[in-house]
Amino acid sequence: MRDFDDRRPAGGPALGERRIGAFEKGRSGPLVFLVGGVHGNEPEGLEAGRRVLARLARDDPPFRGRVVLVAGNLTALARGRRFVDLDLNRMWTETSYPPPGGAPRPGEPVEFWERRALAEVFAEECRAAEGRRIACLDLHSCSSEGAPFACMGDTIRNRRLAFALPIPVLLGLEETLDGTLLDHFYVRGHVAVAVEGGRSGLPSTVERLEDLCWFALAGMGCLETSAIPGLEERRARLTEACAGLPRVLEIRYREALEPGDRFEMGSGFRTFDRVERGRLLARKNGGECRAPEDGYLLLPLYQGQGNDGFFLGRRVRPFWLRVSAILRRLRVFKMLPLLPGVRRDPDRPRSLVVDPAVARWRTIEILHLLGYRKERPRGGLLVFSRRPD
Ligand SMILES: [Zn+2]
């Protein structure tokens, strides 16, 4: 393991180390980032990306656009930890950080520099890809067993990529988490999907993540699905891992942890376990954490670092996704301020302010269907903003 200070070159970020490799054939097409190791104890995504690049170089299939493999938190990867000072996957709000570039500054959290250096790689690649479609597949693994799944902000363009992956798709995770890497791409109008491959340290997790990279490249149009090497085996592996699970779920609950909380997940839980309302799931600071409703348990926390104890999800019927796609195409959202308790935010044209005391109980569901995301409450009011479709 290299010492942490080795990883912070005096002259600024080492782009070559962070940009692990790329493949293109000079044919126009999208720019696709494969990002691994945003959490330093999840090296499986990088290994999966390396395998994809090696296979592309060997087979040299017909390929449109460019795929780039990028390493996330280099310092934490070198130490085998989720993060050093701050979770790099919660730092992508636009306002709170200095612009990309620049060397590490004395006394600043390690992840400030990591974020700047990573943002610089993205910016450089995106500048060169001006006018082309841009997508990010953010590769994760986790501390519990369970089937793979994808997470996305529910925009129409994200759906195209997420539904090219033969695994369950989870909506609304980004609504409960501020500043994930996906946000960095959403605000720029790009496609971004995160995938969880399974438990860290398992060879099957690397295999699944590699499979998902291939399906993502096909979903973005870089290569034909039929050109995926070992297509049937990859599809069978993912389908088998997800047998019996819903195609689409939405996050209903997050057990949030504060620094210093003592949290202990009950033993033996796996991602996608069905749990019923009232089931004892974990203990926090001596108290009980019980399921607030029936649902699917997601990402139960079995590691020391992290501020999400677990999530609960609920199945979404595909019918509602089709309805919402039609409503968005019709731009029905323009009529939303006509609903009781809903008004436009005077300062921000894409945002709505909702008074929960006045709005009908279905209002939040309607806003979700139309592509709005809930932000932090402001006073007693709820604020929703619409992502660029
Ligand atoms: Zn992760």
Residue 250 C-alpha to ligand 1 middle, in angstroms? 19
CA of 91 to the centre of ligand 1 (A): 13
CA of 353 to the centre of ligand 1 (A): 32
Between CA 314 and CA 296 the distance in angstroms is 6
The predicted-structure confidence for 49-88, as pLDDT tens digits, reads as follows: 999 999 999 999 999 999 999 999 999 999 999 999 999 9
CA of 200 to the centre of ligand 1 (A): 9
The 8-class DSSP code of residue 146 comes to: B
Sequence ranges of the domains in the chain: 4-241, 248-315, 320-386
Cα-to-centroid distance, 189 and ligand 1 (Å): 23
What is the CATH class of 4-241?
Answer: alpha beta
Q: Indicate whether 143 pLDDT > 90.
A: no
| Percentage of the chain lying above the pLDDT 90 cut | 60
pLDDT of residue 321: 79
C-alpha 69 to ligand 1 mean position (Å): 16
Strands 31-36 and 342-344 come out as unpaired
Gap from CA of 111 to ligand 1 centroid (Å): 15
pTM for this model (two decimals): 0.85
| Centroid of ligand 1 to alpha carbon of 38 (angstroms) | 7
The answer, yes or no, to whether residue 344 has pLDDT greater than 50, is yes
378 C-alpha to center of ligand 1: Å? 29
pLDDT band at 1 (very low <50, low <70, confident <90, very high): very low
Dist. CA 80 → ligand 1 center (Å)? 12
Tokens representing residue 178 in the block: 């501020």
Please, which pLDDT band fits residue 97 given cuts at 50, 70 and 90?
low
Of the options 2.40.50, 1.10.3470, 2.60.120, 1.10.10, the CATH number for the domain spanning 248-315: 2.40.50
Reported as a single tens digit per residue, the pLDDT across 12-36 is 444 458 999 999 999 999 999 999 9
Cα separations in angstroms, 317 against 208, 249, 314, 320, 370: 25, 8, 10, 6, 16
User: What separation in Å is there between the alpha carbon of 13 and the centre of ligand 1?
Assistant: 22
Cβ contacts of 98 within 8 Å, gap of 6 or more: 112, 116
Question: How many angstroms separate the alpha carbon of residue 336 from the centre of ligand 1?
Answer: 36
Range in 117-121, 140-144, 311-315, 332-336 the model is least confident about: 332-336
- Distance (angstroms) between ligand 1 centre and the Cα of 115 equals 15
For ligand 1, the distance from its centroid to the CA atom of residue 2, given in whole angstroms, is 22
Q: How far is the CA of 39 from the centre of ligand 1 (A)?
A: 5
* CA of 125 relative to ligand 1 center, distance in Å: 23
Q: How far apart are CA 55 and CA 49, in angstroms?
A: 10
Give residue 267 CA to ligand 1 midpoint distance, Å: 21
Bridge partners, 287 (sequence order)? 284
Q: Is the pLDDT of residue 313 over 80?
A: yes
Instruction: Report how far ligand 1's centroid is from the alpha carbon of 299 (Å).
Output: 10
Quick one: which of 137, 122, 120 has its CA closest to 32?
Answer: 137
User: Is the pLDDT confidence value at 132 over 90?
Assistant: yes
Q: Is the model more confident about 138 or about 380?
A: 138
7 pLDDT band (50/70/90 cuts)? very low
> 241 alpha carbon to ligand 1 midpoint, in Å?
19
CA–centroid distance, 53 to ligand 1, in Å, is 22
Q: What is the pLDDT of residue 332?
A: 77
SS3 content of the chain, % helix, strand, coil (to 5): 30, 25, 45
**What is the distance in A from the centroid of ligand 1 to the CA of 300?**
13
Q: How far is the CA of 84 from the centre of ligand 1 (A)?
A: 14
How far, in Å, from the CA of 142 to the mean position of ligand 1? 6
∠127-20-306 over CA atoms, to 5°?
Answer: 95
For the chain, give the mean pLDDT: 88
Looking at residues 361-382, what average pLDDT do you find?
A: 76
